[in-house]
A and B are shown apart, each in its own frame.
Chain A
């Protein structure tokens, strides 16, 4: 599949392997100001505004839809994106638009993301879009400027890694647990230089939204991209969405999309296999997504580490996280819960969490930040907001929010947060903040018990 998409987008190939690739979709967000500045400094304009889509997400307030409520530096980022989009003729899902949301949520939601596309965005979680069979990866600001100026990007073909997960996930085990288990298996640099194709019966049975969660965290294993071959579930997901092909175009697109699927005899540079039956609800205990373990486990003992470097790394992580070796993960008390981010803020995530929360009370501060205005509206139509509010959760407006804290939604110093986001780095959710990455179901369980909890103990028939 990678080969097919690569070949169909190659404009020029240098003898040394560097290839100029056509970009079908370029998503820009409110962290793009420096890229637009670079474009202007060079006296250039956006070459193909019709291939470019903008939405503010990193810096937007989640307590209201009025950017004026934001601290000035943050507000300016939203204002700059708005001005740059207007000047460039780029379509924007602005703050007052119901379609606004996290760029990696709204791309698939609007069917701006389609199989076979090459998609880039100045954000490392762009691999999310690969769940629909696109080749999608994150780029830096200079590359954003390059794509704005040329609608193309120089790349060297990544190596290929197929990760096959077979079998049925147990109740209470979700897509987030699958990707955390994968990262724990191969490591945070386990897929460096590779594009991952996720395959196997578990992925085939998984919903499109679940696949989006899996592909989203490909970068946390070091991969440039992550993708799933499109199938009938993908096509059903896209059909009728605003930017999906219509009428005769749909049939043409469908025939093309079906042709993208990886040939049975395709060879990959590497192969990794996991058994779905062996995956339990996961939680991270350290400061890299690779430090993930089954909730039934314990905080590791650095003394058991295979080498000195690994021992020191565990010691440093445990010191930051204020955890003692051997502690049962279910004995770790938490201070707050964040349910949101481009990893886990879609409607299925909110449904799963609401089912656990229903009829219970959050015993720590907890907030839900839907991934888009449309996800929020859908949840409200289903009454999920009422479930969360009745349990004491805050029900916020769409944005990246507490995943990275750039909008001011921060975890306090020393506070411990069970979070459905994607990074547990030192200081990621705020200076001194301690993050435990979990699935939406596990976040809900933590909210109603005040500690990391095996959600399977709270599930009702």
Chain B
């Protein structure tokens, strides 16, 4: 289900609200779904749709210029709150492959890498400048190059940092279970020594 992430060139949509929590990204009442059911139709459900199910015209992803967005440029603490990985699944299944923000909720950040979604941390003033540009010129496309660790567009180019382990996994499109199981011997050796030290556990 997870595709490798190398480069992405796509429309970017601005979300200027700070502390967009995972309850906003995917309301709790939908969380019984299976991963394989698909979650894209539920992304930002209560922000995106009226009670009668019609799209809210003022929500950014409902505006024609941003409908095909695959990148979000957000505000501080994006994805805070509940650990629900369905927040990542909803973004991914909708088509979003990268979120740029000054900071992220910790669990959301870690879960993104497990699913092929790239969270990019840039300084707050750079992210604010990007959002201003996207607002002034709706439909602007940005390029994200994971190998080079850059975000570029009409504004110029920003470099970002990423943990090498996370970068390797994203570039290869693998989750880390397979990687870890290759270290089974080290795990077993650790567990034996640990049990000898702390026998009551």
Contacts and interface: CB of A to CB of B under 8 A. Distances in A.
Interface of A: 8, 11-12, 14, 16-18, 20, 22, 24, 31, 33-34, 37-38, 42, 44, 59, 73-74, 76-77, 117, 122-124, 137-143, 145-146, 149-152, 154, 156, 188-189, 192-193, 219, 222-224, 245, 249-250, 252-253, 256, 288, 290, 309, 312-313, 316, 404-406, 423, 425-428, 431
Contacts of A34: 34-35, 85
B39 to A, nearest CB: 11
Interface in B95-149: 103-108, 110-111, 114-115
Contacts of B186: 11-12, 20
Contact of A37 (B34, B88, B183, B187): B34
Contacts of A20: 180, 183, 186-187
B163 A425 contact: no
B177 to A, nearest CB: 5
A270 B186 CA distance: 34
Given A11-B187, A142-B115, A143-B111, A16 B164 contact: yes
Contact of B177 (A149, A219, A288): A149
Given A152-B187, A222-B105, A77 B32 contact: yes
Contacts of A256: 198
A38 B46 CA distance: 28
B172 interface: no
A429 B26 CA distance: 14
A145 B177 contact: yes
B82 interface: yes
B32 A142 contact: no
A16 to B, nearest CB: 4
Interface of B: 16-19, 21, 23-24, 27-29, 31-32, 34-36, 46, 75-77, 80-86, 88, 103-108, 110-111, 114-115, 163-165, 175-178, 180-181, 183, 186-187, 190-191, 194, 198-201
Given A34-B34, A37-B35, A42-B177, A124 B111 contact: no
Contact of A11 (B103, B181, B190, B201): B190
A154 B35 contact: no
A140 B85 contact: yes
A18 B163 contact: yes
Given A223-B106, A288-B19, A427-B27, 13 more contacts: A18-B164, A20-B180, A42-B177, A124-B83, A138-B107, A149-B181, A192-B103, A219-B106, A249-B199, A309-B75, A313-B19, A404-B28, A427-B24
Contacts of A253: 198, 200
Given A20-B180, A245-B200, A143 B31 contact: no
A448 to B, nearest CB: 30
Contacts of A31: 31, 84
Contact of A426 (B18, B23, B82, B104): B23
A150 B32 contact: no
Interface centre among A77, A250, A406 (most CB of B within 10 A): A406
Contacts of A288: 19, 21
B16 A309 contact: yes
Nearest to A193: B106
A73 B81 CA distance: 23
A404 B26 CA distance: 13
B177 A146 contact: yes
Contacts of B114: 140, 142-143
A150 B27 CA distance: 31
A154 B103 contact: no
Nearest to A225: B106
Contacts of B46: 426-427, 431
A192 B176 CA distance: 23
A427 B23 contact: yes
Nearest to A413: B51
A16 B103 contact: no
A16 B164 CA distance: 6
B77 A189 contact: yes
Contacts of B77: 188-189, 192, 222
A74 B33 CA distance: 10
B176 A154 contact: yes
Contacts of B191: 22, 151
Contacts of B31: 31, 406
A151 B83 contact: no
A405 B190 contact: no
27 contacts: A11-B190, A12-B186, A22-B194, A31-B31, A33-B34, A37-B36, A38-B35, A73-B32, A124-B82, A139-B107, A140-B85, A140-B110, A140-B111, A140-B114, A141-B86, A146-B177, A151-B187, A192-B77, A192-B104, A224-B106, A250-B200, A253-B198, A309-B16, A312-B16, A427-B24, A427-B27, A427-B46
A270 to B, nearest CB: 15
Contacts of A188: 19, 77, 80
Nearest to B167: A16
Nearest to B191: A22
Nearest to A194: B106
A410 to B, nearest CB: 9
